[in-house]
Structure formats: C-alpha cells, structure tokens
C-alpha cells in the first residue's frame, strides 16, 4: 500500500460541559484530523489527540503537527507499506512524539482494514488471534466537583443512564476524602479514582482507607507523572491496585513498571503509546504478566472514539473503558454516526475500517488542504 495523499485539518470541538481535572478545566477540545489516501483509492482517517497545553502529556497539538509535517511525512514519502506495522518501523528512529505517530498510524490502520474488508476491530483482533465483541461495556469519567451534593447527583445520573463503572477525577487530597464518602453512598456501583498526579506519598493513610472500600477497583496515576519509583513504594504498602496512565508511554515503560512493582493495572490509550502496534504489544505483555488492563479515553472526537472503541472491543480488557456515548461530550461531533449507550454498552460499527463517516463540512474543508506528501 502506497499513500498518494496526506492532509491535516485542525479543528476545535466545544464540550457540552467543562471537564475539570487536576490540570485545570477543559471546555474546548482542539484536534487535528488526518486524511490519508492510498494509490488504490481507499481513504483513511486519523485523529491527533494531543491537547492544547503540555500538562497531561508533553506533546501539544502544535508540536505534534510539526513532527508529523517535518519528521513523519518525509519518512513515508514514496514508501510501500505491506502491513500497518511497517509504519512503526519507518518512524522507529523518532523518539517520543507518541500522539503524532498514533494519529497518522490510525489513518493507515483504517486503510489496511478496509483493504482486507474488515472492521478495524476485526483487523486488530487478527494480530492477537481474538474476535472483537460487537457490544462494548463502557464506563464514564466524571470531571472533578468541589460540591459533594452536586457530584452525588451527577453519579446518580450516570448510573441511571447505565454506565457500568464510574471514574471520579480528583484535584487534591480534600477531594480524595470526599470520594470516600461518595463511594459509601453507592455501595452497588463500581468506581475508579483518577488523581492525574495530584497526590503524594503523604496520602498513604487516606489511600489505605479507600482500599477498604469494596466498590473501588483502583486508583489511577496518584503520583508524579515520571515517578515510577515512588509509585512502587506506594503500591508495596497498598492493597488497593494502582493503575498507571501518564507514566506509560511505551512497552518499555510497562516493563519498567512491572520490574519495579509500580502498579497492578494499566490504562491503555493507543494515542498515548504511539498507536495500535504498540498497544497490541502492551496487551500481549500485560497478559503474560497478569497485569489488569483496560481502555482509557482522551475526550476523543468521533474519529478517535471509533478507533478507541475498536481497541476496546477486543476481549482482553478487565474493566469497562472510559468510552462514553457521543451525546455526553460535544455540541456537534465530527462524524455522522452517534455512539449510543444501551444497557451500559455501545455497539461497535460494523462497516469496514473505522466504520464511521466524517461530516460533509469536514470533507469539504479537507479538499482545500494541501497534500503534504508531494
């Protein structure tokens, strides 16, 4: 497969409600869409999931676009790809820049899946010898709320909507204490807590209290983003599972975390680890090591959400993913299809490739974007 066209389209989506985390409030989501066209005529789409600021991950929309334009595209020019993994080989000498790589890789996987007349989910599954589920169990990640009563009501609504697992974002140690009381209000529900690095080893006593709650599955990324050693010290003392997110940018990071004992679970996001090729390697490694694994989200637009759903459909995950219904996120999304929550599940698109279609307005805008491959 040879690409004949690659174009970028920066867009911005408005969130229905601001999403509050320890990094601040997000009310709009900048994304860059990738359009790839193969010589055989097939079109693939990708979505760049870096944020506007380098607070959750080091990359930003601007740095990632620059890497795509000046590093990734020159390595693709004139090259023949036999399988999507060839993309990883061609870009293996580029350090870091996982979101940039994952965005272009997504469009390439989309094309290959179509070429094989498979949904992306079926195609991904072939590489690890599994068949995708057609309905995917999902959870919801709720932004932080200072008010106990407000958060209690939001949890109530999410459970009523059918979400199978609730993740609460924390911004500080006070909200950690509030979370203990909130979890006690919903003994039948399943919870995760995500600190996005806002806690410290000093919170060990509070975390021990949380460990006693039977409805808490894990605590995600409690400590500093680069600190695998202190996570290991904390995990050693804690019966509650630590799940790593920001710490894990590669398969090597998972291996380091296992060697140190830094966690018992991994939140897997293809965009954070450089794409599906690495994500599949991480899945295999976590199975060997008996690490719990589940599929995270990054407030994706419709293209990225379809890609995450394809990954989440593989029957290798231990918990429902952070992949909520379309109506939960944006005023208007990028794609024509809607992902609807029914019985706590979202149906996987059945068409080939990503299985979704970009709205006409974006297809029109792409027509005006230059082909960066020539």
Residues that bind Mg ion (CB under 5 A): 194, 220, 245
Tokens at 219, concatenated = 């605590």
Whether 190 is catalytic: no
Binding of residue 324 to ligand OSB (CB under 6 A): yes
Element (H, E) at 28: strand 24-38
Catalytic residue among 101, 167, 169, 190: 169
Give the footprint of ligand OSB on residues 339-358 (CB under 6 A). none
When CB distances are held under 5 to 8 angstroms depending on the partner's kind, the choice from Mg ion, ligand OSB, none that residue 141 binds is: ligand OSB
Q: Are 197 and 170 a contacting pair, CB within 8 Å? A: no
Nearest to Mg ion by Cβ — which residue? Answer: 245
Q: What is the DSSP track for 190-256?
A: -EEEE-TT---GGGHHHHHHHHT-TTEEEEE--S-TT-HHHHHHHHHH-SSPEEESTT-SSHHHHHH
Q: Which residues are bridge partners to 295 per DSSP?
A: 268
* Least distance between Mg ion and beta carbon 138 (Å): 16
Nearer to Mg ion, 7 or 234 (CB): 234
When CB distances are held under 5 to 8 angstroms depending on the partner's kind, the choice from ligand OSB, Mg ion, none that residue 164 binds is: none
Nearer to Mg ion, 22 or 164 (CB): 22
C-alpha 109/C-alpha 120 separation (Å) is 7
Whether 347 is catalytic: no
Q: Which stretch binds ligand OSB (CB under 6 A): 76-84, 105-113, 278-286, 294-302?
A: 294-302
Binding of residue 294 to ligand OSB (CB under 6 A): no
C-alpha 175/C-alpha 240 separation (Å) is 18
C-alpha 244/C-alpha 228 separation (Å) is 9
* Least distance between ligand OSB and beta carbon 45 (Å): 18
C-alpha 130/C-alpha 95 separation (Å) is 31
When CB distances are held under 5 to 8 angstroms depending on the partner's kind, the choice from ligand OSB, Mg ion, none that residue 191 binds is: none
Cα three-residue angle 168-99-373, rounded to 5 degrees: 150
* Least distance between Mg ion and beta carbon 19 (Å): 12
Q: How many Å is the Cα radius of gyration of the chain?
A: 20
Nearer to Mg ion, 245 or 333 (CB): 245
Site for ligand OSB, rule CB under 6 A:
56, 141, 194, 196, 245, 296-299, 322, 324
Q: Which residues are catalytic?
A: 169, 269
């Amino acid at each position: 497969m040879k690409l004949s066209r690659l174009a970028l389209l920066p867009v911005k989506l408005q969130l229905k409600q601001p999403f509050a985390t320890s990094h601040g409030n997000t009310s709009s989501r900048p994304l860059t869409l990738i359009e790839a066209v193969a010589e055989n005529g097939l079109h693939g789409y990708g979505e760049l999931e870096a944020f506007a600021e380098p607070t959750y991950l080091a990359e930003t929309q601007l740095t990632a676009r620059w890497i795509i334009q000046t590093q990734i595209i020159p390595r693709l020019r004139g090259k023949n790809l036999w399988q999507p993994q060839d993309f990883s080989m061609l870009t293996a000498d580029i350090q870091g820049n996982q979101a940039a790589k994952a965005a272009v890789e997504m469009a390439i996987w989309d094309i290959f899946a179509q070429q094989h007349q498979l949904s992306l989910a079926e195609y991904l599954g072939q590489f690890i010898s599994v068949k995708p589920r057609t309905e995917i169990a999902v959870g919801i990640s709720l932004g932080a709320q200072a008010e106990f009563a407000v958060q209690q009501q939001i949890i109530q609504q999410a459970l009523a909507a059918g979400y199978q697992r609730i993740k609460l974002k924390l911004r500080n140690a006070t909200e950690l204490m509030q979370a203990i009381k909130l979890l006690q209000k919903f003994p039948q529900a399943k919870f995760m807590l995500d600190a996005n690095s806002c806690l410290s080893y000093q919170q060990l006593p509070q975390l021990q209290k949380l460990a006693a709650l039977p409805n808490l599955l894990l605590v995600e990324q409690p400590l500093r983003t680069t600190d695998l050693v202190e996570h290991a010290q904390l995990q050693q003392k804690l019966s509650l599972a630590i799940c790593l997110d920001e710490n894990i940018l590669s398969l090597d990071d998972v291996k380091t975390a296992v060697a140190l004992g830094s966690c018992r679970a991994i939140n897997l996001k293809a965009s954070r680890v450089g794409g599906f090729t690495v994500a599949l390697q991480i899945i295999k490694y976590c199975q060997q090591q008996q690490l719990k694994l589940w599929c995270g989200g990054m407030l994706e637009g419709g293209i990225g959400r379809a890609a995450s759903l394809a990954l989440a459909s593989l029957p290798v995950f231990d918990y429902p993913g952070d992949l909520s219904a379309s109506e939960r996120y944006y005023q208007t999304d990028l794609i024509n299809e809607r992902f609807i929550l029914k019985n706590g599940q979202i149906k996987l698109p059945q068409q080939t490739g990503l299985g979704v279609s970009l709205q006409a307005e974006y297809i029109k805008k792409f027509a005006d974007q230059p082909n960066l491959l020539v």
